[in-house]
Amino acid sequence: MSSPDSSPTPTTAPYDPAEGAAAGLHAFDQVVAASTGFRSRAGQRGMAEKVAQTLAAATLGKVDEDTDPVRAIAVIQAGTGVGKSLAYCAPAIALALARNTRVLISTATVALQEQLVAKDLPALAASMPQPFRFALAKGRGRYVCRLKLERLGGLAEPEIDEEDPEDDLFADELPAMRSARETRPAHEVEARLKFYAGVAQALSSGAWDGDRDTLETPPTADVWLPMAAEAASCTGKHCPSFGQCAYYERRKTLVGAQVIVVNHDLLLSSLGNRLLPELDNSLLVLDEAHHLPATALAQFACRMDLGRHGWAEKLARRAVRFGSLLGVTEVADIPVHAKFMRQALQDVERLATDLYGETLRAGLQGAGRGASRARLPRGALDEALVEPLGQVAHHAEGFLTAMRCIAKALRAEMRERPEQARRLSTQYAQLGALAPRLESVAETAQLLLRDTEPGQVPTAKWFTLDLDGDQQPVLQAHASPLLPGATLRNRLWGAVRGAVLTSATLTSMGKFEFFLREAGLHDDEAASTLEVPSPFDYARQGRLIAVETRADPRDAAEYVAEMVRALVHDLQSVRSGALVLFTSREQLRQAVTALPPVLVPRVLVQTAMPRGQLLAAHRARVADGAPSIIFGMQSFGEGLDLPGRLCESVFITKLPFAPPDDPVGEARAEWLRGSGRDPFTELVVPATAIRLAQWVGRAIRTEEDRAAVYCYDRRLVTTAYGQRLLQGLPAFAFSRGRREEPEPVAG
């Protein structure tokens, strides 16, 4: 079977970028002309032209050693209503077909992936003169491992090693079950086992396709993990269930697809591993591109557990046993590496406890929820930790080297002894289930040891203390790159030839600079920008009311109390759909508590029910002519599409500042201050501008909408940065006024 990375070789016929750009734009024009009732938009065509010119200019595939390939990257902000999906899909696909290559479309949210695959691409395929195929690519972990599920569901006997009869080779896939047997009521354990048996039967009968997302009720993470397919434990074509594997069956659809839809996480995690087509021979489109920097930081951060090392002993024991049977000489080194790695981890744990234990324990007691943390200022590692961490890194890498030799020998044995495929695949899976922990130890130790030369950007480093399910303390070490731009420049953009990045919010206060820096494209000669305004008449369709509270928003208690009183008063005027956005759970809690009886039945609270259920209830109420008010947190400020009467009012309780209070943000702010720069101006305000634009963007979704946006934070109009924030918002009809204390609302 061929794989998605075996992309067709670009045509060898002479290629003219100008002709390619013209053909790409012509394809867009043809689709628009063929679409009945489609409203032509100059901004959308301008975006399509920019996409066509950019992707046509890129050099794809292999080039001569003495030839520098042309890189072309467009960063396009397309306001709400532009129709950016069609503007990039039509020219990109036409160019891919003409150049005998593929288009990778990456999004940040499942909602947009589903829209592309279920709506936009089928409609486009029906309109374009040349046929094309498209497919959705998901991470391996979204699919079930049939071998594991058969074991969990009782359809296969446990694989027991003859030399260690108590060692169930799938034991590591059942941590939640083992814990459940000891700490949970028997009926919960039985329900879990019944679930596994049910989905195993559905899979074997063909009633379920093995995709987590197609289950009627997707299971929680702790239920899904034991049955999920994972690269480290997968033997691919050597697995006895390979011919029925849900993951590999889905990958077959990628082979012949000219358009592959992925998400940012999968795109970044697949760099260098050939799971997706080669980026230097593909056209790349990143929609919802404003999420890319945060995704990059999350993707390339790492951590290791300092206090629980039983997995290392178990992995070493099994690796030695399997490797010895296969004649792998490197297994002789494993016991030594495992022993000294564990000892070094214990030393790091002891020293970290001595150095940071008081801070961590105090933080854990005060946090109420979540882990406490102790960050290393300026990424400077205490001298006492250098030696033991060096030992951890050395022995973890030695352990990994031996593991790679065993894995190679196991794969060779599978090829030579196919009749033993089930036993050998089980052994491979057992080793692979623990190998990611070893890899995390090696990566984290190496990143923690990275020194910062004067003038260089440091690495964010910190320790956390949390409680596990049995209320036992768990100490972990973490490390992360500090700047997403530097990481993306090194990991992604060097491999990309032609790309388009787009979103409704890429500028901050009217400029692209902040996003370009965050995305690693600032000063990149290949990158160009375009801002396509929304076709909506915001001055006619919407109003922005800046309410000036008397209380200073920095005085949280006084401000929230006053804001809640004003909000409750204003909600009385809601006659259809409305959205209230809060920046904290405490704000939301106080607002809910303050609701008079007349408002209580009108309010739907995000934290009280699943998102889909809440939105369905909201739509039903509005359809019945009743007022319906959604109380939502920050996640409801983006990607929520409530056109027309579903959202005629948006209430912003406070400017959505996101102070750099996470370890990476704190370390970055510290570095900026140490360099004589202001993190509030460089980080907080630009990020807030983008987030506020997203929130305000919930109000007007179509050319027929009419809506009002209320902001209770007086800083929007009384500070210099507030004025800059206003400049980045749509040109609503604007009014301001001091909030007088309202009369109490009658119940």
Between 8 and 290, the more confident residue is 290
The encoded tokens of residue 18 equal: 């100008």
Convert 580-601 to b/e letters by CB count within 10 Å (16 or more is b).
bbbbeeebbebbbeebeeebee
- Beta pairing class for 460-467 and 473-480: antiparallel
Residue 239 has pLDDT above 60, yes or no: yes
Give CA–CA dist 560/552, Å, rounded: 10
Q: What is the mean pLDDT of residues 198-208?
A: 89
DSSP state letters, 37-100: TPPP-HHHHHHHHHHHHHHHHS--S---TT-PPP-EEEEEEE-TTS-HHHHHHHHHHHHHHHTT
Domains 17-140+250-297+486-532 and 538-738 share a fold: yes
Residue 298 has pLDDT above 60, yes or no: yes
Residue type (1 letter), 696: V
**Site of tokens 């795109």:** 267
Question: Cβ distance 509 to 722 under 8 Å?
Answer: no
Alpha-carbon distance values, 650 to 592, 641, 725 (Å): 17, 13, 17
- Beta pairing class for 302-305 and 473-480: antiparallel
Q: What is the mean pLDDT of the chain?
A: 88
Nearest to 47 by CA among 570, 503, 676, 517: 503
Residue 541 has pLDDT above 80, yes or no: yes
pTM to 2 decimals?
Answer: 0.88
Question: Residue 537: CB partners within 8 Å, gap ≥ 6?
Answer: 703
CATH class of 17-140+250-297+486-532: alpha beta
DSSP 730: -
Residue 366 has pLDDT above 90, yes or no: no
Alpha-carbon dihedral sign for residues 717, 720, 721, 723: positive
pLDDT tens-digit readout, 335-348:
999 999 999 999 99
Nearest to 284 by CA among 438, 112, 501: 501
In sequence order, what are the beta bridge partners of 251?
none
pLDDT tens-digit readout, 41-67:
899 999 999 999 999 999 999 888 878
Give CA–CA dist 205/202, Å, rounded: 5
**Res. 432 pLDDT band, cuts 50 70 90:** confident
Domain spans, the chain: 17-140+250-297+486-532, 144-244, 302-480, 538-738
Question: Residue 177: CB partners within 8 Å, gap ≥ 6?
Answer: 189, 192, 193, 226
The encoded tokens of residue 473 equal: 């303390």
For residue 25, the tally of other CB atoms under 10 A from its CB is 21
What pLDDT score was predicted for residue 426?
Answer: 81
Residue 173 has pLDDT above 50, yes or no: no
Nearest to 642 by CA among 569, 702, 582: 702
Give CA–CA dist 149/235, Å, rounded: 16
Residue 3 has pLDDT above 70, yes or no: no
Alpha-carbon distance values, 445 to 7, 448, 515, 655 (Å): 37, 5, 31, 39
Rounded to 5 degrees, φ, ψ at 508 are -125, 115
Give CA–CA dist 52/67, Å, rounded: 23
CATH 3.40.50.2300 matches 538-738: no
pLDDT-wise least confident of 66-70, 123-127, 162-166, 457-461? 162-166
Question: Cβ distance 71 to 526 under 8 Å?
Answer: yes
Kind plus residue range of the DSSP H or E element containing 130: none
